[in-house]
Amino acid sequence: MKDQVVLITGGAAGIGKATAIRFGEAGARVVLCDLNAEAGQATARSLGPAARFYRVDVTDRKAVQAWADEVAAVCGRIDVLVNNAGVTRDGQLVKMQDGQLVKQMAETDFDLVVSINLKGVFNCTQAVVPYMVKQGGGVILNASSVVGLYGNFGQTNYVATKAGVIGMTRVWARELGKSRIRVNAVAPGFTATEMVMKMPEKVLEGMRGRTPLGRLGEPRDIANAYYFLASEEASFITGAVLCVDGGIVIGT
């Protein structure tokens, strides 16, 4: 992985940050993007002078294209894209009480999650792939989730995007294989990111209880999966969904 150019969206914190560190340790030239400029710049600085940070909104197609164009111009190539950026806005489809509608998922929350988690992956991949085709290959890695496979209560929008990411991954593996571009997805289970660890201990205990290995995943666990799939050791793997979930059982 030494000197390979690795783009990571949502790289300022959590799994994205852990992934940046993992690739940086291997000598990759890590390029991060995020909306959180302060955290993103701090992460890039921690990786050394070869790392770069850009403030990019993955829902903005023109901004994404400008980012890809600049990275290709500065670095000369793009070897790996990790589509990690994502958000949640949970809520039930409808909530009824005594036969009356009392609450429902807001359309704005549905649209926001789809825009970032699904269209953002589309935008970034479409911007980067032509460079990979011209250079003779590359790797696309997409963040899905175990809920994209099994569903989860109160996450219509999030589950739809993570299932959609799996679908796009399989389509792109078919379309881009002839150009020596491998496309895979990683489906994490409950992972101890900064956001998750702010949840009440009772909720965290419930997560551990539903995970056969008895613990939450660490961001490094997911980063290691991305690193493996990007490496030559995974050179015959494409169109796959790798669950990194401790054997989780999703229920209601």
Whole-Å CA distances, 136 to 176, 182, 248:
11, 11, 38
Q: Note every long-range contact of 74-79, with CB atoms under 8 Å and residues 24 or more positions apart, other chains counting.
A: 75/5, 75/29, 75/31, 76/5, 77/5, 77/131, 77/135, 78/5, 78/7, 78/128, 78/131, 78/132, 78/135, 78/138, 79/4, 79/5, 79/6, 79/28, 79/132, 79/138, 79/139
- Sign of the alpha-carbon dihedral angle for 25, 13, 109, 158: positive
Active site residue 226: no
Burial of 62 (0-12, 13-18, 19+ CB in 10 A): exposed
Q: Please identify which of the residues 54, 158, 226, 227 carries the catalytic annotation.
A: 158
For residue 187, the 8-state DSSP code is: E
Per the CB < 8 A criterion, the answer to whether 80 and 230 are in contact is yes
Q: How far apart are CA 21 and CA 27, in angstroms?
A: 10
The SS3 assignment for 26 reads: coil
State phi, psi for 65 to the nearest 5 degrees. Answer: -65, -40
| Active site amino acids | 158
